[in-house]
Structure 1
Amino acid sequence: MPAFVVIGGQWGDEGKGRMVDLLAQDAAIIARYSAGDNAGHTIINHMGKFALHLVPAGIFYPDKVCLIGNGVVINPAVLLDEIHQLEERGVSTKNLFVSDRAQVLFPYHQMLDELEERARGDAALGTTKRGVGPAFVDKIARRGIRMADLLEPDALRARLEQVLPEKNAVLVKLYEAEPLDFEELFDAFVKFGCELKPYVRDTSSIVCDALDNGEQVLLEGAQGSLLDVDAGTYPFVTSSAPSPLAAGAPIGIGIGPTQIERVVGVYKAYMTRVGAGPMPTELDDETGDILRREGPAPEFGATTGRPRRCGWFDG
């Protein structure tokens, strides 16, 4: 049975998490395939309210396998915090697995994200300052560090010895910031690797085997179509690679494009956007404020808590 994809048709925050939570009942595997902890899903079920940034929404079904694919950037501290919070509230994570090819987000990514955004001044993009953009830059520039590297201290040391001097040079010489200590960073991420080792797998093989066995696979999108770097409102878009479009799903989870059977696009009855960028139908008045505060759900970002800009549906 081929896979199907759930994507957002706007600028994110359309309710994808709720839709995935409903559709997950019929799937054997639920997988995230793009973005990082800059995207958030809010899930409300019989166990309460949960805001997830990396763990797929299907985690609340104990008989489902949940995957974080190779197209996702992983902040190990955030992932471990989500795992611990879920376990503390009685949600099992024994069927959660993370791709060994997923890129790792480091503190220098977060520092650079914030410093770059500050340097843009009035031209700021409105990033979440989580470091996801700079992490994807490193991925494309072939200087990223992957989850598999965290499991091998010698490999991690070799990669950090290549990358950290360059990052520190930029931090110190360009932004006059403090450099990061190599040994402190290395020790912290070796520890992360030890804690996350039980979750790290070749997730592409897991998905391919499930599809070969006729099982249904649900691919969970993040962000929204209008944030795609090519199809969106550039430069006010995401750096995520693969794209938040459905076309990015097979790349971000490691399957062929012909294995996608259908795509579910999720839209909200009105538009919202977090951060800078054009929004033709924005309501910068009392009506917009009413939508934000008294609409179907409070319109504040699940990741940053920032108020969302609200406007009429723009088809």
Structure 2
Amino acid sequence: MPAVVVVGAQWGDEGKGKATDQLGARVDYVVKFNGGNNAGHTVVVGKEKYALHLLPSGILSPGVVPVIGNGVVVDLEVLFRELDDLAARGVDTSRLLVSAAAHVIPSYNRTLDKVTERFLGKRQIGTTGRGIGPTYADKMSRVGIRVQDLFDASILRQKVEGALTQKNQMLVKVYNRRAVDPEEIVAELLGYADRLRSMVADTALLLNQALDAGKTLLFEAGQATMLDVDHGTYPFVTSSSATAGGACTGSGVGPTRIDRVVGVTKAYTTRVGEGPFPTELLGEEGTFLREAGGEYGVTTGRPRRTGWYDAVVARYASRVNGLTDLVMTKLDVLTGLEKVPVCVAYDVDGVRHTEMPPDQSAFHHATPVYEELDGWTEDITGARSFGELPPAAQRYVLAVEEMSGCRISAIGVGADRSATIVRHDLLG
């Protein structure tokens, strides 16, 4: 039985939640392996719409065990609020497991995130201000607080005091803010311990044992390839490994146990925050895509930047993730356009690049080279097989598939869970 990784193949918001939710009904475990509550998934089940931020999408699938892996940073206030909200809507959340090795986002890191971003002025990264970056920085600096620390008050106090020794100096002397009282932080975190205790486990051990027992695992990435801290548009990236390799480090499951890597891409492109975006549309076409696609952040509500499909980015994502399949979402948003441009290459100072430029400066100055494909006007939201799509829509999918260097195994044609055309079985 397979272990499948699902990653975003663009700058995030591609519809990974829907893809993992659909696959989740056929797997035993859904594992979130990176990020925190700085990104959201929207999942529509019948007439119900769920906005998930920290929880794995699999929490909506009966019988599936949702897991927050060691690579995730956890805001405990957000965690319990999401659990309470779902429980109030009749969702069973009792199966959730949280890695004892996952790092906790203390409130002082949310403060630092916000004041640091403001301090950068024009050089802002465009963070969500939720403490994600500072918490990952603490992890690498070895002053982080892990979930397991909440069950030993003495250890927790030592770690909080150690972290605040430096951070209070920054808050007071650099940012002109008041110092944080370590005892307030300790009391706040200890207040979560009793409720958290039953959820905490050695998830790396459990996941490997599940694979040994023939169970099926789905690894769900937060953020996306172009926001990966190593492989994305640095420094305008997130603070974690959002590519397929992060599934291994963020869960404790080795790379030889991964069977399939699925990339999720929109039929066009969006991104949130600062940074280069070659196919960005700033006029009426961009507004059309934003409004037709409902392109506003699930977590932040921020309007997303929109642009045409970028096949150069898709080829890059296919390569660095080792994609075996692509899931294309929101094909229905393109309905009504006479022509649909696709970026097939970049022009950088008169030089044509069919692959990602090797340096960030060149990418920043890249001008897209477009190939125009015919559009369609027919409503495709009811299509459930590839043959039911209008011929022009079929040609668009096939052209993009060839340009992207990876087969398109599923196509989203609407918001509902069932509004998907399956061309190849992602678990077969």
Q: TM-score band, normalised by the shorter chain?
A: over 0.9
Write out the 4+ residue segments of structure 1 that deviate beyond 6 Å after TM superposition.
none
Distance 1:286 1:108 in 2: 42
1:47 Cα offset (Å): 6.3
- Given candidates 300, 306, 311, the residue that maps to 2:302 is 306
1:277-301 CA-partner distances (Å, limit 9, x unpaired) = 0000100001111111123xx1001
Quick one: distance in 1 between partners of 2:254 and 2:184?
40
8 Å contact 2:157–2:182 — kept in the other structure?
no
Alpha-carbon distance between aligned partners in 2 of 1:272 and 1:224, rounded to the nearest angstrom: 11
186-195 or 71-80, which moves further after superposition? 186-195
- State the TM-score, normalizing by the size of structure 2: 0.71
Contact 2:37 2:78 in 1 (8 A): yes
CA deviation digits over 1:121-156, x for unaligned, max 9? 111111111110010000011110100001221211
- Structure 2 residue 161 is the aligned partner of structure 1 residue 165: no
Give 1:43 shift: 1.0
Q: Residue 277 in 1 paired to residue 272 in 2?
A: no
2:12 corresponding residue in structure 1: 12
Equivalent in the alignment of 2:248: 250
Tell me by how many angstroms 1:205 deviates: 1.2
Cα separation, 2, equivalents of 1:69 and 1:230: 20
CA distance in 2, matches of 1:183, 1:44: 42
Aligned-CA RMSD value: 1.0
TM-score, structure 1 as length reference:
0.97
8 Å Cα contact 1:62-1:95 kept in structure 2: no
Letter in 2 for 1:116: T
The change in CA–CA distance for 1:47 and 1:181 in structure 2 (over 3 A counts) is farther
Task: Measure the CA separation in 2 of the matches of 1:44 and 1:196.
Answer: 28
What are the equivalent positions in structure 2 for 1:23-34 lying under 5 Å apart?
23-34=23-34
Q: Deviations over 1:27-56 (max 9, x none)?
A: 000110001111111111136111111111
Alignment-derived partner of residue 62 in structure 1: 62
**Amino acid paired to 2:306:** C
- Separation in structure 1 between the aligned mates of residue 61 and residue 168 of structure 2, nearest angstrom: 43
User: What's 2:119 paired with?
Assistant: 119
Q: CA deviation at 1:198?
A: 1.2
Contact in 1 for aligned 2:25/2:62 (Cα 8 Å): no
**Residue of structure 2 in register with 1:192 after alignment:** 192
When structure 1 is superposed on structure 2, of 55-64 and 263-272 the one drifting more is 55-64
SS at match of 1:134: helix
- Note the residue ranges of structure 2 that are not aligned, 5 or more in a row: 312-428
Corresponding residue for residue 223 of structure 2: 223
| Cα distance in 1 for residues equivalent to 2:46 and 2:199 | 26
| Preserved contact between residue 98 and residue 200 of structure 2 (Cα < 8 Å) | yes
Match of 2:237 in 1: 237
Q: Quick one: distance in 2 between partners of 1:248 and 1:260?
A: 12
Q: What is the aligned residue count? A: 311
Tell me the distance in 2 between the aligned counterparts of 1:239 and 1:269.
26
Aligned 8 A contact 1:272 1:311 in 2: yes
1:28–1:310 CA distance, 2 compared to 1 (3 A)? same
Instruction: Give secondary structure in 2 for the equivalent of 1:26.
Output: coil
* Residues in 1 aligned to 2:185 and 2:194: alpha-carbon distance in whole angstroms: 14
Task: Answer with 1 or 2: which has the greater Rg.
Answer: 2
Task: Give the whole-Å Cα distance in 2 for the aligned partners of 1:231 and 1:149.
Answer: 32
1:293 to 2:291 alignment: yes
1:175 Cα offset (Å): 0.3
Higher mean alpha-carbon deviation, 304-313 vs 175-184, is at 175-184
